[in-house]
Amino acid sequence: MTAADADEELAATLATRVQEGELRLYELEEHTDADTAAMARRLLLERETDATLSTVGDYSFDAADASGTNIENMTGAVQVPVGVVGPVHLDGEAATDEHYLPLATTEGALLASVNRGCATIRESGGATARVLKSKMTRAPVFRVADVAEASEVVSWVRENEETLRAAAESTTSHGEVVEVTPYVVGDNVFLRFGFDSKDAMGMNMATIGTQEACEVVEAETPASLVALSGNLCTDKKPAAINAVEGRGRTVSADVEIPAETVEAVLKTTPAAIAEANTRKNHVGSAKAGSLGFNAQAANVVAAAFLATGQDPAQVVEGSNVITTADVRTDDEGNESLYASVTLASLELGTVGGGTKLPSQAEGLDVV
């Protein structure tokens, strides 16, 4: 019997034991390696549902690299087509020169559209981008007796921010607390902690550090912790506070495109683009009550996140984008289009999370 045959036999036995109630799905890794456990789950599902899972089971990485850290009850992997756009020239302080951008999507024409934009930027001499803020947040909610007690807690927090900073930073060798902002609603006190998480996306870092600081608040004030996340953070939900105060990275980028380039590459005029942006992205979005004032930022953010191992759910905040477009005229009467995007809450990192998975790590290497 070959090793592969032995693995298949063991997987079949484990699948049967789950069907008979001897084992639970999450216990399989206790009896075999991660790849064989995934095979057992596929066999179980094929028996129970009549599905065929051969493609899901055809993946290139070691299941142990993902199982337990990036996924539970792993059965395999879903493949999303990955393409590339660019190069695009960027002046981004930390990232300069020309870059190719990997994008993973199932939406046809998305990369063609983005690539046309990259070509336009390239023909215009490049874009400028800056990270304006770096602040991953976690906002616990505390219970107090009344508004007077809430005021007492807030006063203590403002006078002892350095104490809270020291407690939170004791849990990490990289993260720094940049702010602690109190909010009161009746007998609820929220403390919105902001962390500079360096190269990590920072959600776990912020959560662990905030937990440590909360223990200090409970020990020194009348406040009682109710939830480590009080939804004022705000994670993976549309929220005006992220649009105003930012979360993760607040990034702004712009480019000035000569009128002849707009006409040659985009087949229109600066005035037409500026008008469409105002009437659609600004007036239309305002009428709809949108938090994002843009055309399709979520498509690009989602594709970049999938290709580089970011948390796809945080596309919610990543699409919180304002696009501006104006016609400019120089002293000689030459027109150009000034365009910018400002992403208020782009939550991403180059270490941790899904970035260590082999295909996603390759995507980051391309960038």
The pLDDT tens digits for 141-157 are 999 999 999 999 999 99
Of the ranges 14-18, 95-99, 127-131, 266-270, which one carries the lowest mean pLDDT score?
95-99
Is the pLDDT at 260 greater than 90? The verdict is yes
Own/partner long-range contacts of 178-181 (Cβ < 8 Å, ≥24 apart): 178/134, 178/135, 179/135, 180/213
Tell me what pLDDT residue 210 has. 98
Cβ neighbours of residue 253 under 8 Å, at least 6 residues apart?
Answer: 92, 127, 128, 129, 130, 340, 341, 342
Is the pLDDT at 3 greater than 90? The verdict is no
Is the pLDDT at 1 greater than 80? The verdict is no
The answer to whether the peptide bond before residue 234 is cis (omega within 30 degrees of 0) is yes
Question: What are the φ and ψ backbone dihedral angles of 251, each rounded to 5 degrees?
Answer: -125, 140
Average pLDDT over residues 266-279: 98
How many beta carbons lie within 10 A of that of residue 251, not counting itself?
Answer: 22
How far is it, in rounded angstroms, from Cα 9 to Cα 245?
Answer: 56
The pLDDT tens digits for 339-360 are 999 999 999 999 999 999 999 9
Query: What angle is formed at CA 152 by the lines to CA 146 and CA 153, rounded to 5 degrees?
Result: 90
Phi-psi region of 2 (alpha: psi -120 to 50; beta: other; left: phi over 0): beta
Tell me what pLDDT residue 367 has. 86
Tell me what pLDDT residue 97 has. 86
Average pLDDT over residues 259-279: 97
Average pLDDT over residues 22-27: 95
The pLDDT tens digits for 276-307 are 999 999 999 999 999 999 998 999 999 999 99
Average pLDDT over residues 259-276: 97
Residue 141: in which H helix or E strand, if any? strand 141-143
Q: Confidence band (pLDDT; 50, 70, 90) for 124?
A: very high
311, 302, 313, 320: which is closest to 250 by C-alpha? 320
How far is it, in rounded angstroms, from Cα 159 to Cα 156?
Answer: 5
Tell me what pLDDT residue 324 has. 98
Considering the entire predicted model, what is its pTM? Answer: 0.93
The pLDDT tens digits for 217-243 are 999 999 999 999 999 999 999 999 999
The pLDDT tens digits for 303-336 are 999 999 999 999 999 999 999 999 999 999 999 9
The pLDDT tens digits for 41-79 are 999 999 999 999 999 999 999 999 998 889 999 999 999
The pLDDT tens digits for 177-220 are 999 999 999 999 999 999 999 999 999 999 999 999 999 999 99
Average pLDDT over residues 157-170: 97
Tell me what pLDDT residue 88 has. 93
Tell me what pLDDT residue 69 has. 87
SS3 content of the chain, % helix, strand, coil (to 5): 45, 25, 30
Q: Confidence band (pLDDT; 50, 70, 90) for 111?
A: very high
pLDDT over 70 for what percent of the chain? 100
Tell me what pLDDT residue 68 has. 83
Tell me what pLDDT residue 58 has. 94
- End-to-end alpha-carbon separation of the chain, Å? 45
Tokens standing for residue 52: 């065929």
